[in-house]
Amino acid sequence: MNPLLSLLQPYPFERLRQLFAGVTPAAQYSPISLGMGEPRHATPRFIQDTLAANLAGLASYPSTAGEPRLREACAAWLQRRYGIGVDAATQVLPINGSREALFAFAQTVVDASRPGATVVCPNPFYQIYEGATLLAGATPHYAPSDPARNFAVDWDSVSEAVWQRTQLLFVCSPGNPTGAVMPLAEWEKLFALSDRYGFVIASDECYSEIYFRDEAPLGGLEAAARLGRADYRNLLAFTSLSKRSNVPGLRSGFVAGDAALIKAFLLYRTYHGSAMGPAVQAASIAAWSDEAHVQENRALYRAKFAQVTPMLTEVLDVCLPDAGFYLWARLPDALAMSDAEFARELLAQYNVTVLPGSYLAREVGGANPGAQRVRMALVAEAEECEQAARRIVQFIQSRT
Ligand SMILES: Cc1ncc(COP(=O)(O)O)c(C=O)c1O
């Protein structure tokens, strides 16, 4: 067996399963889960229809690079969404959802034969970054997000010695779980560091279309273009239809950016065998080419967050995030409970599932930036989310 497998941490939902073992949820309440970050709004009909109408392509192998039409649809979306130009032939590549691609990209980029190979990730973070790093033979370095600065990642906390060893850096903007969008000045800082130390930036942007303010979140490629980096050097952005179009089961997204990175990634993926099926490619072209369903989807999230957030601010330290579909809340000290205890008791007494924040972060220097926090995914129907919020309020008020 690959010895690196033993370094992998249990996935947060596995830890949650263990935490909930032996708990009998209160039977008078229907179960409501705010645990998993899985979209639950309906998949648009036209995407389903396009998928079903394109089954003829199943008779042949698809190419790893994808159909030119798909890459062009992705490039056209980037142009409309961010006002940037990318060459569909050399700067875009389809992926089977951003999860596999984030993982595979670390295997493509990291040179474990160089001493001290390091990958920098935010803390809290999406656990795939860590697993990808470890299986690539590198060591993760966690940069904490700062609640006092709207959960901005404290890149300044990374020492010069660590930057010198860094080969890859993960950005998650909008962030999971914090919802924070990284502003242009932070991008400028990271690009300067990337130029100085030669590391690659993987920008995970799968929540970019679910946002709550007038201005749409800044993208990594957009930031690069604004700062005069038209070649997107050392930068790859990862985007996905899963959340944008409510198709997590389709497994479809794309990467775009530096042509040299795309070339190396395509080579890796050819051997890895991760081409996108033709029916999925057709459905993806339809999805990327339509914006009306994305606006409707965003409106549903906006209504839910407008309803639920003020209810929860009564009892929790929480506010409307920049983007994404999570509330990242701090528990009141008066509760005198850990985040895991809170999650277990809430399930037992009110049949509501939330994810303990400490499961989404790592302890560094004696502090876990997710401790005393919970993540609530507002993915269920509005009425269910409101019902869950009411129960959470009741639970906290009964304990404080
Ligand atoms: C931050 C982040 N990145 C990437 C993904 C992967 O999404 P997908 O593989 O469906 O594109 C998720 C899924 O929850 C996520 O939260």
Question: 3-state secondary structure string, 98-125?
Answer: HHHHHHHHHHHHCCCCCCCCEEEEEECC
Q: What is the pTM of this model?
A: 0.97
Pocket of ligand 1 (CB under 6 A): 37, 97-99, 126, 172, 176, 204, 206, 240, 242, 248, 253
CB atoms closer than 10 angstroms to residue 209 = 23
pLDDT value at position 347?
97
pLDDT value at position 231?
97
- DSSP reduced 3-state for 17: helix
Residue pair 294/209 in contact by the 8 Å Cβ criterion: yes
Q: Is 84 exposed, middle or buried (0-12, 13-18, 19+ CB in 10 A)?
A: buried
pLDDT value at position 57?
87
pLDDT value at position 256?
98
Nearest partner of 16 among 390, 398, 360, judged by Cα: 360
17/396 Cα distance (integer angstroms): 23
386/312 Cα distance (integer angstroms): 10
Q: Which residues of the chain are under the pLDDT cut of 70?
A: none
Q: How far is the CA of 206 from the centre of ligand 1 (A)?
A: 6
Which of 126, 178, 203, 243 for a ligand 1 pocket mutation test, highest count of atoms within 8 Å of Cβ? 126
pLDDT value at position 400?
86
